[in-house]
Structures are given as C-alpha cells and as structure tokens.
Amino acid sequence: NAGVMQNPRHLVRRRGQEARLRCSPMKGHSHVYWYRQLPEEGLKFMVYLQKENIIDESGMPKERFSAEFPKEGPSILRIQQVVRGDSAAYFCASSLGQGVLEQYFGPGTRLTVT
Amino acid sequence: QQQVKQSPQSLIVQKGGISIINCAYENTAFDYFPWYQQFPGKGPALLIAIRPDVSEKKEGRFTISFNKSAKQFSLHIMDSQPGDSATYFCAASKRYSGGGADGLTFGKGTHLIIQP
C-alpha cells in the first residue's frame, strides 16, 4: 500500500516565481489537507479539500496561495510570486473520511526561495 | 491565539525511563486528539490517538492519558529507547459535518532525546 506521495521533495524558486506542489493521497482516501511547517515550529493548517471542493481554507493566506483537488489527478498547492517568507516545509495529509478522522502525512516538499 | 499548548519544549530521558509530554487545549469542541512523531527531514507519523469518551489508550509502549474536565492530555512512552529520539507533536481537531475532520491544530512540539 503506497502512502501519501508528494513531489517534488525539494523545490528551489527565486523570488517572484511560481511554486507548484503536488500531493497524491493514499489509495481510497478522498480528503486532503495541506500544512506548512516553518523551521523549529509546529505545523499550521492551511486548507482542507475533497474531490473538486474546497471545504475549509481558513488557514490559507489570502493572496498568492491557492489549492485544488481535481476529479482526476493529484491535489495541487500553488504559490504565486513567491517571497523569502514562503520558505518552509509543506506537508500534505490524507484521510479516508466517512467518519474516520486519522490523517496520514506525506514526506513533504521543502521549498526554498532565494 | 494558540489553541493547543505543549510542554516541555525539550526533554532528555535515560534509556529505559518514562518520557512524559503534556498538552492542554482550549476549544471544547475538539473531539479527536492524536500524537505524531517526526524525525528530521521526514513527515509526521501518526503514533496514537484518543477520543474524549475514554480516559486512557495504550498501544505497546505508548499511552495517552486524557482528562476532559481539565482539558489536558499527555503521552507516556514507557521503556524509552534511543530510537524514540524525535520530535513529538500533539494535535486536536473536531469532526466535520461532511464525514471528515477539520484540519488539525498542532502543539509546538517536544524535542525528545533518549540517552543510551
């Protein structure tokens, strides 16, 4: 059973470029969550998606950040016009839903903005 | 506003000892409390979780104790081993009406070192 997959594992972008982070949930999971972890800090919730729907984006910065989870394919977290403060580890987690609350995390994408 | 407070920030325990990490929450709507273990450069791994209808849950060397009235829960690692050295995060969430759960609210983490 493959776990949650994220790619790329490492991403370097210059200020002003766009970053696209991908997440494939565990097989059978239809709920996806994105979190951000700054160095030496805990994880902060960003957005919760189900297939073709954004359920909760209360943790997402209002500008430059967007997320989607299409009917086919991985979930995408998109950061436009990156700034140095966006440098962090971004983790995706997936859950089965249907009353099952456990969330399983991927290995993360480490974004560095130069 | 930090909704889940975790302590201590760092902890050193001798091999074979008991490691204890504590968390306190504010939001009484939370009804799911997991603990995650994270090694450097890796994603968090779900360790054990509890719901508020029980006061204790044990899985192997790991035990969660839960005190609903005090809004506190703790992780106990019995017979701690050097391989347990990692960062541990407590978290909390609540059920979402659509069958899933809200995003997790995490504590700031505890860096645990088990000395051989």
pLDDT digits (tens, 9 = 90+) for A63-75: 999 999 999 999 9
Percent of chain B residues past pLDDT 90, beyond the cut = 88
Q: How far apart are CA A65 and CA A19, in angstroms?
A: 10
A42 touches chain B (CB under 8 A): yes
CA dist list (Å): B76 to A105, A106, B84, B88: 22, 25, 12, 11
- Residue A31 has its nearest CB partner, among B100, B107, B108, at B100
pLDDT in tens, B57-76: 999 999 999 999 999 999 99
**Above 90 in pLDDT, residue B7?**
yes
CA-nearest residue of chain A to B102?
A: A48
CA dist list (Å): B83 to A59, B9, B65: 34, 19, 22
Q: For residue A40, what pLDDT is reported?
A: 73
**Min CA distance, B78 vs chain A (Å)?**
24
| Interface test mutation site (partner B, options A32, A101, A102, A104, max chain B beta carbons within 10 A) | A101
The whole-chain average pLDDT of chain A stands at 94
pLDDT in tens, A85-101: 999 999 999 999 877 88
Q: For residue B2, what pLDDT is reported?
A: 62
Closest of A35, A48, A106, A102 to residue B47, by C-alpha? A102
Q: Omega into A8 within 30° of 0, i.e. cis? A: yes
pLDDT in tens, B19-51: 999 999 999 999 999 999 999 999 999 999 999
Q: For residue B100, what pLDDT is reported?
A: 77
